[in-house]
Structure 1
Amino acid sequence: MTAMPALFVSHGAPTLILDDVPARAFLARVGGDLGRPSAIVVVSAHYEATGVRVDRSAWPRTIHDFRGFPPALYEMQYPAPGDPALADEIVGLVRAAGLDAETDEGWGLDHGAWVPLMLMYPEADIPVVAVSVDPDAGPEHHRRLGAALAPLRERGVLILCSGSFTHNLHEIPRPFRQIETPAPDWVREFADWAAAAIVEGRTGDLLDYRRVAPHGARNHPTEEHFLPLFAAMGAGGGGAGRRMHDSTTFAVLRMDAYAFG
């Protein structure tokens, strides 16, 4: 079986699944480009826990974890099966890497998971297992988490890490629906720096991004949406990544995507 890459994708606002923007078009075609994985492990910025939690649901529920959006979003379901045996295996791999890990019987798929998955694999017939981020644990923890997941790629498992390349919602220009507003300099400068660091394999700089990147903390006032990038890096075996997509929505949300491994 062909090994799958580890991906970092930016999932944007929940309305991405409805909006006619380049990031939606990218996600809608990338599943076909990759081919069909044997299973999908999704590390989502919206599944937050202390340590590592792995959803063991046989049929993960679709979580509508947002408010104030169009009614059509709340009617959407992504009824993919889970894989409890794979969830148990992931817990074992993560514990062997020296991290705390437990199964979670009741999470499901938040919008950081089901929005990109619905675009990538709309038939919802591939088993999906969700893995949490720890917003207080920092980049190195998530790089180690990803490295623990890396052996699964050789069995055709897609490691899909879903967050946002930039994510300061407090600075979205009003009105909110100005989706095509260009990125300001402080967003562009951070994204350009991070893109170069990824392509050049400057892992140390990326792990220390809040200190060395231009506008690092301004683009990520909290870290949960950038942490999946480090999981993708670790799952890809370390080293440089390949940029698959770059665009902007709502001025401050860079929608970049990268492949590792």
Structure 2
Amino acid sequence: MTLPALFIAHGSPMMALEDNEYTRFLEQLGRELPTPRGIAVFSAHWDDPDQRLTEDAEHGTMHDFYGFPEEMYQITYPAKGSVELAAQIRERFSANNLHAKAVTGRGLDHGIWVILRKMYPDANIPVVALSVDSKRSPREQYSIGRMLSDLREEGILIIGSGGLVHNLRMVHKSDEPDAWAAAFDEWIAEQLSEWNLHNLFAYDKKAPHASDAVPSYGREHFVPLFYAMGAADNGRKAKRLFQSYQYGSLSLNCWSFE
């Protein structure tokens, strides 16, 4: 069973409580995909210069956000970890001369549990969380994802969790997309449809409105795209499964790579 790699926008933490077109899409996606043996998530909310991954048998639930309704802080997602899967990931990193540090006790950040709670509400699939490094080059990020590509053939679902347009300083009340945000997303879509790594790796210079869509202080939300793409380097086929917006410029999108 070979699973796709996915890029999934995790949106606002409030998505955990919302019932809308996007949350229903995620629920349906979880039902339609073959049941994974395990899930490995590169999260925008774990940005570290060193490659890190969780090595827990059990996960806590991180409430790594502020100013939200009290109900948000009562939500738990009691997914188990997998020491075995963590070891398999470390072996592949080591074989490619990437030093990875296993950590325990971190828990799952909201970039992970918000989407998994929609896709797999029973929390019955083991999860390994992985850090991203927003200061690495896109080529390096892609190559790290590629190190794990064969795990997809073993029933492991690899996810990059972030947001292609994620500039919280430019959001507003309308859910109608700002023209600049839509233009950036469509440029990305065109490059993905052709797997044009040359342009994608230079998105900051080539894409329209790149500095607004991916501000220097929010690059960590964009880069999980490259980790997820790298995990499907052997197939190089991209399919957009969903696209919408919240707050004018918060892009809610899901891409499948095979």
TM-score, normalization by structure 1: 0.94
Q: State whether residues 202 and 240 of structure 1, in contact with CA within 8 Å, keep that contact through their aligned partners in structure 2.
A: no
Identity of aligned residues (%): 39
Aligned to 1:53: 52
Task: For residues 106-151 of structure 1, give each alpha carbon's deviation from its aligned partner in whole angstroms, at most 9, with x where no partner exists.
Answer: 2221000000000000000110000100121131221011101111
Number of aligned positions between the proteins: 255
1:204 aligns with 2:193: no
SS at match of 2:35: coil
Q: In the alignment, what sits opposite 1:14?
A: 13
Paired residue for 2:242? 245
Distance 1:59 1:197 in 2: 39
Q: Which residue in 1 is equivalent to 2:151? A: 152
**In structure 2, C-alpha distance between the alignment counterparts of 1:86 and 1:26, rounded to whole Å:** 27
Structure 1: segments with no counterpart, 5+ residues: none
One-letter code of the match for 1:223?
A: R
Q: How does 1:144-223 map to 2 (within 5 A)?
A: 144-173=143-172, 178=173, 180-221=174-215, 222-223=218-219
Of residues 225, 229, 235, the one that matches 1:233 is: 229
Q: Does 1:224 align with 2:220?
A: yes
Give the 5 Å matches for 1:42-81: 42-81=41-80
Q: Distance in 2 between matches of 1:235 and 1:223?
A: 20
- CA deviation after TM superposition for structure 1 residue 202, in Å: 1.0
* Amino acid in structure 2 at the alignment position of 1:97: N
What is the distance in 2 between the residues matched to 1:138 and 1:256? 23
Looking at structure 1, the residues matched to 246 and 175 of structure 2 have their Cα atoms a distance apart, in angstroms, of: 7
SS at match of 1:3: coil
**Separation (CA, whole Å) in 1 of partners of 2:107 and 2:92:** 21
Q: Deviations over 1:216-260 (max 9, x none)?
A: 121111310011100110001252311110000111111111111
Q: What is the CA distance between 1:63 and its match in structure 2? A: 0.4
SS state at 1:44 partner: strand
Please give the secondary structure, in 2, of the residue aligned with 1:28: helix
> In structure 2, what is the equivalent of residue 130 of structure 1?
129
Contact 1:64-1:74 at 8 Å conserved across structures: yes
Deviation at 1:98, TM superposition (A): 2.8
Deviation string 1:164-207 (CA, Å, 9 cap, x unpaired) is 0210001112xxxx3x5211111111011001111121121111
Instruction: Give the superposed CA RMSD.
Output: 1.2
Gaps of 5+ in 2: none
| d(CA) in 2 for partners of 1:20, 1:120 | 13
Q: Distance in 1 between matches of 2:22 and 2:64?
A: 21
Matches of 1:98 and 1:220, distance apart in 2 = 29
Please tell me the residue identity of whatever aligns with 1:187. A
Q: Is contact 1:138-1:227 (8 Å) kept? A: no
Q: Secondary structure at the match of 1:132?
A: strand
1:83 Cα deviation after fit: 0.4
Answer yes or no: is the 8 Å Cα contact 1:4–1:154 preserved in 2: yes
What's 2:33 paired with?
Answer: 34
* Distance of 2:25 and 2:137 partners within structure 1: 29
Distance 2:19 2:194 in 1: 32
Q: Tell me if structure 2 keeps the 8 A contact 1:51–1:99.
A: no
Aligned equivalents of 1:216, 1:240: Cα separation in 2: 24
CA apart distance, 1:97? 2.0
How far is the alpha carbon of 1:19 from its aligned partner?
A: 2.1
Q: Which residue of 2 aligns with 1:254?
A: 251
Q: Report SS of the residue matched to 1:256.
A: strand
